[in-house]
Amino acid sequence: MTPYTGSTSIRLTAKGMKRFFRTCPRDDEQGRVAQSTLAKFGFKKVAILHDNSAYAKGLADEAKQRILDKKSADIVFFDALVPGERDYSAILTKIKGVKPDAILFTGYYPEAGLLLRQMQEMKWAVPIIGGDATNNTDLVKIAGDAAAGYRFISPIMPADIDTPMAKAFLKAYEAKYHSLPSSIWSVLAGDAYNVLIAAIKAKGPDPAAIAGYLHNDLKNLDCFTGQISFDEKGDRVGDLYRLYEVNAKGEFILQPK
């Protein structure tokens, strides 16, 4: 019996493992939210940039397919940068040449920070939207004031969770550690703990009985990040992804749904 709290790859629950469950969302859910976010803002020409890592390429492919299926935009660029480089002006110039309405970047925060800073240096103000791997305050340190206005898709942050259970948990956490959890992943671990406790109380310690309970009987269990149920693959049912925007102070602000 393995409850995962931070493994988002789609393929993990496609292997038929009957005792695999996760309280975190899947990458294809993030791809769906990326497509709907781009459509919400009315972007019709989208450039998709990734870094060829399994995570970033997978998310880029998923977002691309969602956009194509929905026919919500034309994909005018789809390619990868090389992570760890210090100068992305060449690929930015290439993207600028196809005149996108927006860039979807599915890589990590160090590269996102550099992209933002170098776009500012180019005096190119096209919107860029990132995935959850850019949810890191070091992005602001790298990008400087160029981070203002940057948007990214991410599971909701601990400070923004408003369930009664979460408020009590976060209050106790802050009292002990003098800060809130730095990311949602530790809160999702707490969700997994509560899921297992509920299953053990209902069925005892037998792994097969626990797995059967989670598949068939657990419905809308109140947890820190909301109510939890699982589908037949062991994936969490529901939507955890939200849109954030960096303000002029470098703060990550939750946007309305």
Residue 2 has pLDDT above 70, yes or no: no
My answer on whether 124 and 155 are in the same domain is: yes
Q: What's the half-sphere exposure (Cβ side, CA atoms, 13 Å) at 23?
A: 27
My answer on whether 57 and 168 are in the same domain is: no
**pLDDT value of position 20:** 92
Beta-ladder partners of 227: 222
**pLDDT value of position 4:** 61
Does a structural domain hold residue 226?
A: yes
Cα separation, 119 vs 207, in Å, equals 52
Cα separation, 37 vs 133, in Å, equals 17
Q: What is the pTM of this model?
A: 0.87
My answer on whether 60 and 83 are in the same domain is: yes
My answer on whether 151 and 245 are in the same domain is: yes
Cα separation, 87 vs 13, in Å, equals 38
Encode 34-52 in three state secondary structure.
HHHHHHHCCCCEEEEEECC
Does a structural domain hold residue 102?
A: yes
Give the chain's domain count: 2
My answer on whether 52 and 88 are in the same domain is: yes
Nearest one of 33, 19, 15 to 255, comparing CA atoms: 33
Q: What is the pLDDT of residues 78-89, one digit of tens each?
A: 999 999 999 999
My answer on whether 152 and 44 are in the same domain is: yes
Backbone angles phi, psi at 63, to 5 degrees: -65, -40
Please report, rounded to a whole number, the percentage of residues in the chain having pLDDT higher than 70.
98
My answer on whether 111 and 204 are in the same domain is: no
Q: What is the pLDDT of residues 203-218, one digit of tens each?
A: 999 999 999 999 999 9
Residue 224 has pLDDT above 80, yes or no: yes
Residue 140 has pLDDT above 60, yes or no: yes
The single-letter code of the amino acid at 202 is A
Please report, rounded to a whole number, the percentage of residues in the chain having pLDDT higher than 90.
81
My answer on whether 56 and 37 are in the same domain is: yes
| Cβ-proximal residues to 150 (8 Å cutoff; 6+ apart), any chain | 112, 116, 128, 130, 134, 139, 143, 245, 246
Does a structural domain hold residue 41?
A: yes
Does a structural domain hold residue 105?
A: yes
Q: List the CATH number of the domain containing 126.
A: 3.40.50.2300
My answer on whether 155 and 200 are in the same domain is: no
What residue numbers bound the domain in which 187 lies? 161-237
Q: What is the pLDDT of residues 141-189, one digit of tens each?
A: 999 999 999 999 998 999 999 888 999 999 999 999 999 987 888 889 9
My answer on whether 121 and 247 are in the same domain is: yes
Q: Are strands 45-50 and 102-105 parallel, antiparallel or unpaired?
A: parallel
| Gyration radius (Cα) of the chain, Å | 20
Does a structural domain hold residue 36?
A: yes
H-run or E-run covering 200: helix 185-203
